[in-house]
């Protein structure tokens, strides 16, 4: 038996993140039978498997689906399998009983539907059960062994392609998350400065308005502190940083975590929205907008991950 995956192999059990898009092709020969398989995957929210098989392999459909499920977690997968069995033509004969049964059925249908045209050969050829393969039963085992090896080889190449693209996506995402960490530090520093400046301006305005009037300094200070707390983004910054750290951890995980990364991005975007609503400075607002735009670009990349 000869199997040809036609691709480099993943090595060891190193952590990886997989793209949902990829293509794999495999070919295998067992006995006198040669089988080939092509498998491609594109983005999809769930795992969808579409198979194109020769009639002789219809009984093996569930087994081929399970082979794919064991290797692919998410994506729209299209697989095509074909075989070249030199015994097919030698052992192919007409099943006379099936011919008579189909012909009788077509004549009855013609009569019931009041169709005047006669039954022709092309009508009969639509029914595959009229043909019988009298090749020895061993060819069925050879066929399945060849198909299994071809599908396994195609899946190996598919995973290699998904891993290669996933590695590129991972580097891009890590770079973008590092950029977000820098942005959030700028926003945090600016928020502290602006908060202290805002407190000073409020005290000055209160002093100007209340000049010559009795006022409780402690009450004024309390009101200023309460107002400043409403604009404070410390909690949002801490949570955002925590989400960033967890995002990086998932990227380095042993499994591909496209779904979890997508959920995490929703939380990060929620924190960014809250920071934007609390921003009382034009520069802060611009930084938050830039951060949200980058989160959207990250979300688009994450949609490609398994």
Walking along the chain (306 residues) 10 residues at a time, the average pLDDT comes out as 42 65 95 94 94 90 96 95 68 74 85 84 76 59 93 97 95 96 91 69 64 64 60 87 95 86 95 87 89 96 93
With CA atoms as reference, report the closest residue to 105 among 124, 77, 132: 124
Please tell me the distance from the alpha carbon of residue 194 to that of residue 281, in angstroms, as a whole number: 8
Residue pair 244/294 in contact (Cβ under 8 Å)? The answer is: no
Q: What is the DSSP letter of 7?
A: S
Please tell me the distance from the alpha carbon of residue 149 to that of residue 179, in angstroms, as a whole number: 45
Q: Which CATH architecture has domain 2-90+135-163?
A: 2-Layer Sandwich (3.30)
Sheet harboring 22-30: ordered strands across?
2-4, 22-30, 33-42, 75-84, 47-52
Any idea where the domains of the chain sit in the sequence?
2-90+135-163, 91-134, 166-302
CA Rg, the chain, in Å? 33
Query: Which residues, 6+ apart, have CB-to-CB distance to 247 below 8 Å?
Result: 173, 177, 261, 264, 265, 268
What's residue 115's pLDDT?
A: 85
Number of DSSP helices (H) and strands (E) in the chain, helices first: 9, 7
Please tell me the distance from the alpha carbon of residue 235 to that of residue 15, in angstroms, as a whole number: 32
Query: Which residues, 6+ apart, have CB-to-CB distance to 198 below 8 Å?
Result: 228, 231, 280
**C-beta atoms surrounding 227 within 10 Å:** 13
What's residue 195's pLDDT?
A: 65
Long-range Cβ contacts of 124-129 (<8 Å, 24+ apart):
124/99, 127/98, 127/102, 128/55, 129/95, 129/98, 129/102
**C-beta atoms surrounding 13 within 10 Å:** 7
What's residue 76's pLDDT?
A: 96
Residue pair 36/177 in contact (Cβ under 8 Å)? The answer is: no
Burial 109-144 (b: 16+ CB within 10 A, else e): eeeeeeeeeeeeeeeeeebeebeebebeeebbebbb
């Amino acid at each position: 038996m000869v199997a040809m995956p036609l691709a480099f192999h993943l090595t060891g059990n190193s952590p990886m993140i997989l793209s949902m898009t990829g293509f794999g092709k495999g070919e295998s020969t067992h006995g006198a039978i040669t089988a080939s398989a092509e498998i491609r995957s594109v983005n999809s929210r769930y795992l969808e498997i579409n198979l194109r098989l020769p009639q002789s392999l219809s009984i093996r459909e569930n087994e081929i689906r399970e082979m794919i499920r064991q290797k692919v977690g998410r994506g729209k997968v299209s697989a095509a399998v074909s075989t070249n069995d030199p015994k097919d033509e030698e052992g192919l004969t007409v099943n006379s009983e099936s011919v008579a049964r189909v012909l009788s059925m077509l004549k009855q249908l013609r009569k019931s539907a009041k169709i005047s045209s006669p039954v022709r050969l092309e009508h009969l050829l639509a029914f595959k059960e009229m043909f019988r393969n009298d090749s020895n039963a061993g060819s069925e085992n050879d066929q399945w062994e060849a198909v299994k090896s071809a599908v396994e080889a195609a899946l190996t190449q598919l995973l290699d392609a998904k891993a290669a693209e996933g590695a590129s996506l991972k580097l891009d995402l890590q770079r973008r998350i590092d950029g977000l960490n820098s942005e959030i530090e700028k926003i945090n520093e600016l928020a502290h400065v602006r908060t202290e400046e805002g407190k000073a301006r409020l005290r000055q305005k209160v002093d100007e308005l209340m000049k010559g009037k009795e006022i409780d300094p402690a009450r004024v200070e309390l009101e200023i502190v309460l107002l400043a707390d409403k604009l404070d983004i410390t909690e949002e910054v801490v949570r955002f940083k925590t989400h960033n750290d967890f995002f990086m951890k998932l990227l380095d995980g042993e499994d591909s975590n496209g779904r979890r990364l997508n959920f995490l991005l929703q939380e990060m975007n929620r924190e960014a929205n809250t920071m934007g609503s609390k921003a009382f400075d034009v520069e802060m607002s611009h930084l938050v907008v830039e951060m949200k735009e980058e989160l959207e670009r990250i979300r688009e990349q994450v949609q490609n991950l398994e």
